[in-house]
Structures are given as structure tokens and as C-alpha cells.
């Protein structure tokens, strides 16, 4: 058999396929987002939500040059430019936000919108709320669309539109999502338990939809990790069951009013950052235990229109920041606590339609206008 020598070039040609096999592959589940793929994903979203009929659609589906100019955060100071960044054309489409800085610069206004500390040019947000979007959300945000947009997608603001269907399960696979707002739409179905996978989520607003089922106990991640979730707003839906959220200690705003939740009030004693607690117009029963009012930062307390029993607890001890108290429409008994009107910050107390007895506290004085008369 004859042996023929091959040239170095031919050797490289033969070895090339083998060398490709040795290159590192993306880790399982790791996303690779390309500029062209992100543009196509945005156009798919645009088409699925009736884009041509949007209220604001400036520059969509154009290829104009896109340049971002860094501006100072302090709007009261003279507007100052800190240089420019060239971005893909779709980053200038109305409502699309892209990364503009690889590092977090507090001076830049864009850094407050999740557009810093990321890969320049990648899509970080889609803010098209109150814009006339229609269609089914699960088709607009299909797994394919989210796969191409999801590398560093941090903000989805879709509130105030006419989107329908269930909340897409694929949303829970976005590793960097911080804000998810689809309030005031026509969503139905249940809340996916897999929402707990959104470990960086800071705000979840699904209020004013047609959601049913219960609130997942581990919505904040359970006891497996720290949860940064600050705002949880699920009001004005058709949610049922008991409310028992685990490890939501970072919550500042909890709004579950106007649903069909029942059972005893949850134990909020560990929610030390809570400012707003709205659970009105549900079917909670039992007494109002003292722990909810060991919350030094609480400003708004609304437990109205439930089936709560027992007496009005001490709201003064650690509730010195309370400005609004709504306890009307329950089955509360006893008298109105005299010390409730010693709260200097208190602006309004509504206690009507209960079973309260006795006389009004003498120290009500000139603050009588703050009290909606108990019945």
C-alpha cells in the first residue's frame, strides 16, 4: 500500500472537526442571545400583540442608527452628558430597553432602570404598558421569544393592556427578571408555583385580572433562599384558599384585597419592612392577633370587609407610622381604644359596620374628623 504525505494545510483541514468537538459548550440551561435573534424575537412579540395598532410604536421594525447618551441621575441639576454608546437599532424602538453600561454607575439615570452591570446591547427591558396591546400573552411571550430575549431581561412592564390567557410558564425561566407587571389585563388561569424560581424578582404586579386558584406558599422562594421581593400585588382577581406565604421578609407592599381568600390572618411578625398591608374585601376570619402590629414601618393597614372577630388590638405600641386604618365591615367587638388617637401620623380611621360598643374616647378632641363612626 502506498502512503502519501499530506501538507500541513491538509492536516488542519482534517483536524478541524475534532478541534470543534473540544471547544467548551454552554452550560445546561445557559442562554446565548444574538443581536439578530433578539430583533426577530421583538418583532414576533410586536406581531402577536397587534403592534401596528399600538398607541406608541415609534421606530419599531426600522433599522435606524441607535445611540445612547448617558445622562446624570439628578434631574434638578443641569443636564450633563457622560458620553455615548452605540447600540443595535432595536434598542431605540419605543419601550425597548437595552444594557448601556457594563458596570453600575449610580450617577447614570439608566442604572435605575436595570440597564447597567450587564452586556452592552442586550435587551434588558420591555416597557409597553398602557399601549393597546392585544392577543394571548402565552403566544406573545412564547418559549422561543423568551429564549432569545431572556439572557439579561430584567424588566417586563405590560400593565394596562388587553392581553389574555394564562401567565406563561416560560416566564419563570428568566434568570435575571427583577420586575414583572402585567396588571390590568385579561389574564386567567392560576399562578404557576414555578414563580418561586425567579430568585431575583423584586416586584410582581398581576392585579386586576381574572386569575383563579390559590397563592403558592413558596412564591417568595420558601425557606431555601433569601427573597428580594418587595412588592407583591395580586388584588382584584378571583384568588381563593388560605394565604400562607413563606419567607417573604423583604416585602414592603402586600396587596391582596378584593379576592376570595379565607382562613385566619397570616402571621406577619417577621415582615419588618412592611409599609402597606391591604387584605380588604376577602373572607378572612378569626381575631386580629397582636403580631401584625409589631411592625414599626407599617403605614397603611386595610383589613376591611372580612369576618374578623375579637377586639381592636393595640395599634399604638409599634405602629407610630400608621396614617390609614381600615377595619370596617367586620365582626369586631369591644370599644374603640382610647390611645388610637395618640398616633400623631394618623390621618384616617374607619371602623364602621362592626359590633363595637361603648363611647368614643374623650381624647378624640379635634381629630373627630379622622374617625368614620363605628356601628
Chain center to CA of 356: 38
- Is 4 within a domain? no
For the chain, how many helices (H) and strands (E)?
4, 21
Any idea which of 20-34, 45-59, 165-179 has the lowest mean pLDDT?
Answer: 20-34
C-beta of residue 342 within 8 angstroms of C-beta of residue 366: no
Confidence (pTM): 0.87
**Sign of the C-alpha dihedral, residues 308, 278, 329, 342?**
positive
- Is 123 within a domain? yes
In three-state secondary structure terms, 21 is helix
Distance CA 190, CA 216 (A): 10
C-alpha cell at 67: 445611540
- The DSSP annotation for 273-325 comes to T--EEE--SSEEEEE--SGGG--TT--EEE--SSEEESPPP--SSS-TT--EE
Here the contacts of 350-359 (C-beta below 8 Å, separation 24 or greater) are 350/304, 350/325, 350/326, 351/312, 351/327, 352/328, 353/328, 353/329, 354/327, 354/328, 354/329, 354/330, 355/331, 356/312, 356/332, 357/333, 358/334, 359/335
User: Which residue range(s) make up the domain with 323?
Assistant: 117-372
Can you tell me the mean pLDDT for 184-207? 96
Distance CA 48, CA 328 (A): 45
The reported pLDDT for the residue numbered 295 is 74
Here the contacts of 278-283 (C-beta below 8 Å, separation 24 or greater) are 278/235, 278/254, 278/302, 279/243, 279/254, 279/303, 279/306, 280/304, 280/305, 280/306, 280/326, 281/257, 281/305, 281/306, 282/256, 282/257, 282/258, 282/306, 283/307
- Is 104 within a domain? no
The reported pLDDT for the residue numbered 27 is 35
Can you tell me the mean pLDDT for 200-229? 92
pLDDT digits (tens, 9 = 90+) for 264-273: 999 888 888 9
Per-residue pLDDT at 20 exceeds 50: no
- Which residues are 98's β-sheet partners? 123
- Is 299 within a domain? yes
Distance CA 196, CA 175 (A): 11
C-beta of residue 313 within 8 angstroms of C-beta of residue 293: yes
The reported pLDDT for the residue numbered 97 is 96
The reported pLDDT for the residue numbered 17 is 40
Indicate which CATH number applies to the domain containing 162.
3.80.10.10
- Is 215 within a domain? yes
Per-residue pLDDT at 198 exceeds 80: yes
- Is 10 within a domain? no
State the chain's mean pLDDT as an integer. 86
**First CA to last CA across the chain, in angstroms?**
109
C-alpha cell at 326: 381600615
- Is 303 within a domain? yes
The reported pLDDT for the residue numbered 111 is 84
The reported pLDDT for the residue numbered 72 is 64
pLDDT classification of 368: cutoffs 50, 70, 90: low
The reported pLDDT for the residue numbered 347 is 83
Per-residue pLDDT at 159 exceeds 80: yes
- Is 310 within a domain? yes
Give the number of domains in the chain.
1
Per-residue pLDDT at 59 exceeds 70: yes
Spatial CA neighbour of 108 closest among 99, 118, 116, 98: 116
Q: Distances in Å between the alpha carbon of 115 and those of 66, 110, 145, 150?
A: 15, 6, 20, 14
Amino acid at each position: 500500500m502506498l502512503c502519501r504525505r499530506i501538507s500541513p494545510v491538509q492536516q488542519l483541514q482534517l483536524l478541524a472537526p475534532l478541534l470543534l468537538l473540544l471547544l467548551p459548550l454552554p452550560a445546561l440551561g445557559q442562554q446565548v442571545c444574538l443581536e439578530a435573534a433578539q430583533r426577530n424575537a421583538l418583532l414576533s412579540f410586536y406581531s402577536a400583540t397587534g403592534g401596528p395598532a399600538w398607541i406608541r410604536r415609534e421606530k419599531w421594525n426600522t433599522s435606524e442608527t441607535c445611540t445612547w447618551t448617558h445622562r446624570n441621575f439628578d434631574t434638578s441639576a443641569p443636564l450633563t452628558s457622560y458620553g455615548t454608546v452605540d447600540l443595535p437599532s432595536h434598542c431605540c424602538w419605543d419601550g425597548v430597553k437595552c444594557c448601556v453600561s457594563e458596570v453600575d454607575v449610580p450617577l447614570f439615570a439608566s442604572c435605575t432602570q436595570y440597564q447597567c452591570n450587564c452586556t452592552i446591547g442586550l435587551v434588558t427591558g420591555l416597557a409597553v404598558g398602557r399601549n393597546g396591546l392585544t392577543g394571548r400573552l402565552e403566544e406573545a411571550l412564547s418559549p422561543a421569544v423568551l429564549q432569545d430575549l431572556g439572557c439579561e431581561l430584567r424588566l417586563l412592564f405590560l400593565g394596562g393592556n388587553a392581553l389574555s390567557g394564562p401567565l406563561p410558564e416560560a416566564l419563570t425561566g428568566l434568570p435575571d427578571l427583577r420586575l414583572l407587571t402585567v396588571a390590568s389585563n385579561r389574564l386567567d388561569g392560576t399562578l404557576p408555583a414555578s414563580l418561586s424560581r425567579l430568585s431575583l424578582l423584586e416586584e410582581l404586579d398581576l392585579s386586576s385580572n381574572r386569575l383563579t386558584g390559590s397563592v403558592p406558599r413558596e412564591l417568595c422562594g420558601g425557606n431555601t433562599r433569601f427573597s428580594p421581593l418587595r412588592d407583591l400585588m395580586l388584588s382584584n382577581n378571583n384568588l381563593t384558599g388560605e394565604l400562607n406565604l413563606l419567607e417573604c421578609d423583604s416585602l414592603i407592599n402586600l396587596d391582596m384585597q378584593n379576592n376570595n381568600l379565607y382562613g385566619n390572618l397570616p402571621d406577619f411578625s417577621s415582615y419588618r419592612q412592611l409599609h402597606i398591608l391591604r387584605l380588604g374585601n376577602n373572607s378572612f376570619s378569626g381575631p386580629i392577633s397582636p403580631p401584625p402590629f409589631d411592625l414599626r414601618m407599617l403605614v397603611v393597614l386595610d383589613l376591611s370587609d372580612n369576618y374578623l372577630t375579637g377586639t381592636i388590638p393595640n395599634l399604638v405600641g409599634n405602629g407610630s407610622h400608621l396614617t390609614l386604618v381600615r377595619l370596617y365591615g367586620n365582626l369586631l367587638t369591644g370599644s374603640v381604644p382610647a390611645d388610637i388617637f395618640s398616633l400623631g401620623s394618623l390621618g384616617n380611621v374607619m371602623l364602621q359596620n362592626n359590633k363595637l360598643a361603648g363611647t368614643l374616647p374623650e381624647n378624640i378632641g379635634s381629630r373627630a374628623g379622622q374617625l368614620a363612626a363605628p356601628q
